[in-house]
Structure 1
Amino acid sequence: MEFRKIIAFGKSSFVISLPKAWLEANKLIKGDVVFLEQEEDKLMLVPKEKNTEKEESTILVNIDNKDLSRIKREIYSGFLNYNSKIVIEGKEVAKYATELTDLIHRLIALEIVEQTSEKIVAKDFLRVEDVSVKDYLRKADIVIRSTLTDLKDPTFTNYQELMDRQLNVKRAYLLLLKIFKAVLKDLSLMKKLDIKSEDLLAFYRYNIALQRISNCLNVIAKNIGKVNAADKKKIQGFIGSLSDNYVKILKAMHLENPDKAYELTGIRDKEVSIINAELKPKTESLKRIGERLVWTYFELHEILHRIYS
């Protein structure tokens, strides 16, 4: 927090100086217009929206002598840093063409505009101001709810489809990370996105928690078909409790109910103790499932932090 002294200006006006860093972050210069918004005892200063064009930037990803995981990380980095174009070059482009095109198609608003045996050019068509952060968080939430519903259903067996479903959570997760980075570079985007400054960190943490929960459910889906019938029934009972707690925690978050949040944190500790006591890691699959059930409860605790921290 910064402090500014009120200075008298003439007989009926008062002025304060504005922080230079704030002016630079919002690309404001002498003569620009700002809006004043009064909220109870607070006065909010909001920059006037400018129709600024996105600065063109290109990142080159050379894939020679790199494994596929390294190449993917570089493409993700180019996407998250809001580059206008990602150019993938190298003698092995044809070798990895299927994997690279699949990856690009999974990144929202990124499209291939040129492709040869030694080059792929992907262009970013995203307009940050057109994105609804709340809508994408809601989409990820819906996928997780449906996954929990299917995992606890004793008649459900298509676990590969559940794993494929988690890709939609990752798509939303990466897009929102990109949005948050763009906002930090240009604070005027918060108004266009209808986000308050105090909500930015909360949305960021919520986004990460949803992605980590999705990762845990992905591992559970991968392993639940490998356990015996008795263990599977026990696991699905734990997932049923987890699903109920997930719904309650999200409701407490949306209602911003701190008392309910503290209560649910206590329930989490009890559920984790029961899982650790009753789900013995007799096999590698049981061990992985038990770990992810516990991790999911702790990620839900991160969501509760939004309420009481």
Structure 2
Amino acid sequence: MGVVKIPEFRKLINFGKTSYVISLPKGWIKKNNLKKGDTVVLKRNSEGLIILPKISKKKERLEVQIKADGKSLEELRREIIANYIDGYNTIRIIGEHVGNISGRIKRNVLNKLMGIEIIEEGSKKLILKDFIDPEQMDVLELIRKADIMVRELFIDVKDFFKKPKVSIDNLYARDDEINRITYFVSRIIKYKLEISDSEFSPMQFLIIWQIMSDIERIGDEVKRLGKYLKKLESEGEIKMRIKSIYSEVEKLYLDVMRALFLKNRKLALKLAPKKTTLITKLKKLSEKAHQVLWAQNIIEKMKNIVLLTNNIGRMVSHLILTNEQ
């Protein structure tokens, strides 16, 4: 049987007109190397108040080594990105033929990672270093940047309803930037979860990560929608109907993101029924357009965007609620 921990009780002591104090267990003070004058962190949650020792020093940033021999570029890509997200400050890639693939690593991997630079390059090694201090990063501001990219994607795709002036390459470039921000947000959240004085609770960070993940997926769907729209072989009623619903889908996304940045839970809840309305419209359009080439692909992408946007709305509501508790 495990050891049963007996809860400790402390009496509240009146301290001035607006505060109360409690004494902290001496064993806990010693265990966390605290002394008189040190700061502790108070975190509220749904069950009460948590007291944590404040970590004033920066979390140690580590170095990792990746052996490239016998690995494909895709395997190296996954390993580099995984270590980047995991918070490694320096990534050393070594192998007999690293010099032969360094160009492809730069194009296919490093261009997708924010803050990473090459500090040393040779025939048998490639050393990467991150120069961004994660403590200075605001995850909500990064989400705002990703949101701007998605908004630009929505605008670019509108151009495909007429003779497009925007190329498909523009859509892919914006989507790549959203992916870069997503990897970076994952890295920052992991770092901040490991220090006790972060601005958000673990639950709030989980919600923020889910919002970022959904924004990234919306970017993917809008990009693919544009690709199918360019191929659409219809200039009549079906195309006009697609355009009309597309505008409604875009507006729903913009309104949900406005609820996030304004921290407006009422607005997020008010927008929830729009999912059912739009899904119904898309279902009816699908029945009408079943013989129009590429129309079903476009409708499916709009449906996915609606579902992902609705999920962001739910996450916004949860995030604001946990912040109020």
How would you bin the TM-score normalised by the shorter chain? Answer: 0.7 to 0.9
2:270 counterpart of 1:266: no
Task: From the superposition, tell whether residues 263 and 85 of structure 1 become closer, same or farther in structure 2 (CA, over 3 Å).
Answer: same
Aligned to 1:34: 39
Task: Please show how residues 1-309 of structure 1 align to structure 2 within 5 Å.
Answer: 4-6=8-10, 14-17=22-25, 28-31=32-35, 33-35=38-40, 45=51, 47-48=53-54, 50-52=56-58, 54-102=59-107, 103-153=109-159, 154-155=161-162, 156=164, 157-188=166-197, 190=198, 194-195=199-200, 199-230=204-235, 232-279=239-286, 280=289, 282=291, 285-309=294-318
Task: From the superposition, tell whether residues 136 and 255 of structure 1 become closer, same or farther in structure 2 (CA, over 3 Å).
Answer: closer
Secondary structure of the 1:83 match is coil
TM superposition shift of 1:164:
0.8
Q: Which runs of 5+ in 1 are unaligned?
A: none
8 Å CA contact retained: 1:227, 1:286: yes
For residues 137 and 209 of structure 2, the distance between their equivalents in structure 1, rounded to whole angstroms, comes to 15
8 Å CA contact retained: 2:95, 2:124: yes
**Which of 1 and 2 has greater Rg?**
2
For residues 128 and 3 of structure 1, the distance between their equivalents in structure 2, rounded to whole angstroms, comes to 36
For residues 138 and 270 of structure 2, the distance between their equivalents in structure 1, rounded to whole angstroms, comes to 31
Deviates more, 1:226-235 or 1:179-188: 226-235
Task: From the superposition, tell whether residues 128 and 13 of structure 1 become closer, same or farther in structure 2 (CA, over 3 Å).
Answer: closer
**Per-residue CA shift, 1:50-81, capped at 9, x if unaligned?**
234x5352222223333322221111111011
Deviates more, 1:274-283 or 1:203-212: 274-283
8 Å CA contact retained: 2:211, 2:312: yes
Q: Which runs of 5+ in 2 are unaligned?
A: 1-5, 14-19, 319-325
**Per-residue CA shift, 1:245-279, capped at 9, x if unaligned?**
11121223334444433432221112122223313
Task: From the superposition, tell whether residues 249 and 19 of structure 1 become closer, same or farther in structure 2 (CA, over 3 Å).
Answer: farther
Task: From the superposition, tell whether residues 36 and 129 of structure 1 become closer, same or farther in structure 2 (CA, over 3 Å).
Answer: closer
For residues 56 and 105 of structure 2, the distance between their equivalents in structure 1, rounded to whole angstroms, comes to 36
Deviates more, 1:141-150 or 1:288-297: 288-297
Task: From the superposition, tell whether residues 107 and 13 of structure 1 become closer, same or farther in structure 2 (CA, over 3 Å).
Answer: closer
Task: From the superposition, tell whether residues 183 and 13 of structure 1 become closer, same or farther in structure 2 (CA, over 3 Å).
Answer: closer
TM-score of the superposed pair, with normalisation by structure 1: 0.81
Secondary structure of the 1:225 match is helix
For residues 275 and 134 of structure 1, the distance between their equivalents in structure 2, rounded to whole angstroms, comes to 32
**Sequence identity percentage:** 19
- Read off the aligned partner of 1:15 and give its amino acid letter: S
TM superposition shift of 1:93:
2.8
Task: From the superposition, tell whether residues 55 and 16 of structure 1 become closer, same or farther in structure 2 (CA, over 3 Å).
Answer: closer
8 Å CA contact retained: 2:193, 2:202: no
**Per-residue CA shift, 1:202-254, capped at 9, x if unaligned?**
32221111111111122223322122243554433332111111112122333
TM-score of the superposed pair, with normalisation by structure 2: 0.78
For residues 252 and 30 of structure 2, the distance between their equivalents in structure 1, rounded to whole angstroms, comes to 45
8 Å CA contact retained: 1:7, 1:16: no
TM superposition shift of 1:181:
0.8
Task: From the superposition, tell whether residues 14 and 86 of structure 1 become closer, same or farther in structure 2 (CA, over 3 Å).
Answer: closer
TM superposition shift of 1:19:
9.9
TM superposition shift of 1:110:
1.0
RMSD across aligned positions (CA): 3.3
TM superposition shift of 1:137:
0.8
For residues 233 and 268 of structure 1, the distance between their equivalents in structure 2, rounded to whole angstroms, comes to 21
For residues 27 and 291 of structure 2, the distance between their equivalents in structure 1, rounded to whole angstroms, comes to 61
Task: From the superposition, tell whether residues 176 and 6 of structure 1 become closer, same or farther in structure 2 (CA, over 3 Å).
Answer: same
Secondary structure of the 1:86 match is strand
